[in-house]
Amino acid sequence: MHSVRRTAFICLNRQNPCADGNFERLSVKTRIDGTITRIRGIETVARQFNIKDDNYNICGRIYCEDIRAVKKAVIFGHGFGGHKDNRAAERFAARILGKNKGAAVIVFDWPCHGDDVRKKIQLDDCLAYLRLVINEARERLHAEELFGYATSFGGYLFLDYIAKNGSPFKKMALRCPAVDMYEVLTTSLITPEMQEKLDKGKTAAAGFDRKVEISREFLAELQETDLTKYDFIDYADDILILHGTKDEVVPMDKVKQFADDNLIDFIPVEKADHRFSDPAIMDAANAEIIHFFGMR
Mean pLDDT over each residue of the chain, to the nearest integer: 87
> In 142-238, which ranges are E strands?
145-151, 171-175, 204-206, 212-214
CA 22 to chain centre: 26
SS3 24: helix
Architecture of domain 23-179+230-292: 3-Layer(aba) Sandwich (3.40)
Query: Which pLDDT belongs to residue 27?
Result: 38
In this prediction, residue 45 has a pLDDT band, given cuts at 50, 70 and 90, of: confident
Q: Where do the structural domains in the chain lie, given as residue ranges? A: 23-179+230-292
CB 286 within 8 A of CB 91: yes
Rounded Cα distance, 92 and 24, in Å: 26
Helix (H) or strand (E) holding 255: helix 252-261
CB 137 within 8 A of CB 146: yes
What mean pLDDT do residues 54-70 have? 92
List all residues 6 or more positions away from 111 whose beta carbon is below 8 Å from its beta carbon.
118, 121, 122, 125, 126, 129
Query: Which pLDDT belongs to residue 21?
Result: 32
Percent of the chain with pLDDT strictly greater than 70:
85
Helix (H) or strand (E) holding 34: strand 33-39
Would you say residue 202 has pLDDT above 80? yes
Rounded Cα distance, 197 and 214, in Å: 10
What mean pLDDT do residues 259-282 have? 97
Would you say residue 274 has pLDDT above 70? yes
Taking residue 202's Cβ as centre, other Cβ atoms within 10 Å add up to: 12
State the pTM of this model.
0.87
